Structure 1
């Protein structure tokens, strides 16, 4: 998976979700920029995330993000790596300690473009987040990284209570329950 593979996947990516559809053109445009995979691109850059589920498809692994103070999927910056599957897998492993992680499908699971507010030494910018579906053993011990306050396997029917309203997480949750890949 590299820049060309990502572009090809984005060209065929379709979603029934109205809020996600407009992102596709923005992501395709970004693939043309050689700095798109580096956080130094101040207007915005690629990130990759892992929507991690257990084998029985009853729980998802979320992190209470230290900087943002919100429950989110695991993931992070590409930092020059054009293989966003590798980025998602690496970030998921580093942030959870899980060794049982398995990529369910190499196609894009979800896209989200969201604003990151200005912080000291970092101007406001966009994250163009490409998400992949991963599976892990729910019994494997978790290891919290410096980026997290907490990690937890959350039952699908408790996600809304845990996170509140976050349309991108709710969209991934809905995709998980509808996906034929999971059967």
Structure 2
């Protein structure tokens, strides 16, 4: 946890949302309230993968059954404090993709996400927060994809300019996915 806290302290927020969320996530990290597990019913750490193709014009997304929307891949830390391992595990579980590489070992984005109450495996899960760390990865869009039937009903490469048409989660499209697309574009410009 000390490494994550150090990395987060050094993280330079991209916008006001990240600046505010960074402050709150740091407070939660220092709370000791088992935030790496779902045992904390109010807030816990999650990871997301923003997976781009080599041209950076498509993102790998899944149709999540709970949210009835196309969304990024990711999941809960479930006690594992090595978030890079968690994100790789989630990518493989949710898409079948095993050959993926980090474009940076640093945290790519941070966000606090609200999760509305919902049913999962016959049990009601109360509304809560995900203290989310996003990593930027790349995969070959020709790799075979597979769904995870208990979580999603589709996995596909979506063109960056079509994300807003495919995802029905307006807040995510406007605040998160658009931010991630801008950050990828800026990273490409920096590389040239």
Task: Give the TM-score of the pair, scaled to structure 2.
Answer: 0.88
Secondary structure of the equivalent of 1:21?
A: helix
What value does the CA root-mean-square deviation take over the aligned residues? 1.5
Q: 2:152 is matched with which residue: 145, 148, 161? A: 148
Which residue is equivalent to 1:110? Answer: 109
User: For residues 48-59 of structure 1, what are the structure 2 equivalents within 5 Å?
Assistant: 48-59=47-58
Query: Bigger shift: 114-123 or 60-69?
Result: 114-123
Structure 2: where are the runs of 5+ without partners? none
The list of structure 1 runs, each at least 4 consecutive aligned residues, that deviate by more than 3 angstroms after superposition, is: 180-183
Which residue is equivalent to 2:165? Answer: 161
Cα contact 2:97–2:145 (8 A) shared by 1: yes
Cα contact 1:93–1:101 (8 A) shared by 2: no
The count of residues paired between Structure 1 and Structure 2 equals 181
How far off its partner does 1:121 sit? 3.1
Structure 1: where are the runs of 5+ without partners? none
Secondary structure of the equivalent of 1:20?
A: helix
How far off its partner does 1:34 sit? 5.0
Which residue is equivalent to 1:21? Answer: 19
Which residue is equivalent to 1:75? Answer: 74
Q: 1:137 is matched with which residue: 125, 140, 148? A: 140
Structure number with higher helix proportion: 2
Alpha-carbon distance in 1 for matches of 2:166, 2:29? 34
Alpha-carbon distance in 2 for matches of 1:170, 1:163? 12
